Structure formats: structure tokens, C-alpha cells
Amino acid sequence: MKKIFDYKTEWSGLKNRMAQMFNSKSGRTVLLAVDHGYFQGAPAGLEDLRKTIEPLLPFCDAVSPTIGGLKSSFNPWVKTPIILRATGGNSMRKPAELDDEIVTVSVQEMVNLNAIGFTTSCYIGLPHQTDTIANLTTLTDEAHRYGLISIGITAVGSDPVLGKFVKGEREDGGELTAEDKKDALKYLKHACRVVSENGADIVKTYYCDGFEEVVEACLAPIVIAGGTKRPTKEALEFTYNAVKAGAIGVDMGRNIFQNENPVAMIQAVRAVVHDNMTAAQALDLYNSLKGKK
């Protein structure tokens, strides 16, 4: 595992902001992603953002909203560290152009809003690859002057071939074949390496079989997104497998807030990430917590 606390030992604002979002005992993080509205509108589970986040905030180490989500739905007194979504300009209404993103939040605004860092999507292999890498490099360059954390996401837009690696299933809903899994590994290894070479402090990507190789290839520590909502057992399994393979946590959205029991799910994910619980143990925990207030 590439540990976040392997960072150079002298004081820096960047390191101190890392310390805010990483658990000092496990060295890992549970980052809650609630930024989906920037291109999805109001997806299931985020229709009422305030209602969704309030019960989940006590269980995450940091939270990642959009600027609009933060200003409209967060209590200004919240203590949870904020990682702002910093790019957008796309929407599901133009699926063919999902990889065409611009910077939507300035670094000055991030500082003003007391964000500790930002996320930006890099669409590796897609038509707007260069522009989205430029978003990462430009934002990182400026954000690092103020010690803010840069998280680069290996995003796939509406590409049908790449999309199945995110969904964990084929377009027709069938299981991924051995060939698909090989392609996913090859693609994610490449994309994570590219994003890290371009300066992201942390890379957010999707889990795939052989994930150790993705971790090994990537120059920066990795957190996993959850992707499309999967059954609880499966989501806990890929979380466990990713952490075992060396991921330093999750930046997860739909598999938490779209779960039938989001508060139980985030605690189960936490138990895997911070307490080294197996997926089976975390599922037992989930079952014992579900339905409880």
C-alpha cells in the first residue's frame, strides 16, 4: 500500500490537510462522494441533498460535494473536511459530450470556502483527454501554492467499452468475460499512471480484478469509487478486495447513499477500510445495524 503518511516529514499545509482526511491509525480514508448532481441532475438518493448527507456525515472522514451542493445544503458549522468537485460543464443531456469538462471552481473560491482539496475528472483515451488533463495540471499547480489536495479521477463518460469496467457488468447486464477483465486492468493501470504522472496527489479510480497491479503502476495513493449501485455484499467485497490490494480507502457515493440502508452501509464500509474487517464480517455488521435509527 502506498501510504499517505509516507509524505515528506517536514510541516506543510498539504500534509496537514491530508491528516484531516486520513485516519492516523489505519492511514486510510472514507471520503463520501455526493457530487453526482453536477452532470446527473438529481440522481436517486440525492434528490434532497441535505437529508441525505446529515445522517452520513458523522461516519465519513471527508465529504465531496459540488460548490452548489455545499452552499445550499451544508451547515456552515460542519467540521467534516470538504473536498470540492472542481470541474463540470457537462450533463447527461449530452451523453456524447460527457468527457468535455471545464474548471468550475477557482482555487481562490476553494480557499474561501475552506475546502482542503478538490477533485477533477480525467477522461483518459477519450476525445477531450488533453483538456481534462490540463484541468488537473492547472488546478494542481495553483492549489499546491496554498497546500490544497488534488484528487484526479479516471472517468469514462459515456464510452460503452470503458463504461462496463465502471458498472462491473456488460452492457446487456451480463457478467464481464475474462477478456473484459483483462481489458479493464490494462485500461485502469494506464489511466491511473497517467493521472498520477500529471501530478494528482491521490488518484480515484474503479476496482477491477488484479487491482494490485493498478496500485503498483500508479505513482500516487489510490482511493476507489463505487461506480453504479451494486448489491450490498458485492460492494463490500470489492471494497475489501481494493483495500487488500493496497487502496488507501474509498471516495464512494452511490453504493452508500443509494443503498437500502445508507447509514448501516457507510459504517460497514468504514469497518472494512479502518478496522480491517473482511467483507463477510462487514456484511454481518451491516445486517445488525440496518433498520436501526
Catalytic residue among 2, 164, 189, 204: 204
> Is 35 or 159 the residue whose CB approaches ligand 5RP more closely?
35
> Is 221 or 226 the residue whose CB approaches ligand 5RP more closely?
226
Beta bridge partners of 122: 154
Least separation in angstroms between residue 204's CB and ligand 5RP is: 6
> Is 81 or 253 the residue whose CB approaches ligand 5RP more closely?
253
Do residues 60 and 80 make contact, with C-beta atoms less than 8 angstroms apart? Answer: yes
Least separation in angstroms between residue 165's CB and ligand 5RP is: 12
Residue 283 to residues 59, 247, 273: CA-CA distances in angstroms?
17, 20, 13
C-alpha–C-alpha distance, residues 243 and 169, integer Å: 21
Cβ-closest position to ligand 5RP: 253
Q: What x/- string results for residues 85 through 124 when contact with ligand 5RP is judged by CB under 6 A?
A: ------------------------------------x---
Could you say which residues in the range 129-188 bind ligand 5RP, by CB under 6 A?
153, 155
Backbone angles phi and psi of 168, in degrees to 5: 75, 15
C-alpha–C-alpha distance, residues 247 and 224, integer Å: 7
- Distance between first and last Cα of the chain: 35
Beta bridge partners of 85: 119
The candidate with the shortest Cα–Cα distance to 241, out of 203, 275, 279, is 279
Residue 35 touches ligand 5RP, criterion: CB under 6 A: yes
Active site residue 204: yes
Could you say which residues in the range 205-264 bind ligand 5RP, by CB under 6 A?
225-227, 252-255
Do residues 181 and 229 make contact, with C-beta atoms less than 8 angstroms apart? Answer: no
Give the active site residues. 204
Q: Which parts of this chain interact with ligand 5RP (CB under 6 A)? A: 33, 35-36, 121, 153, 155, 225-227, 252-255
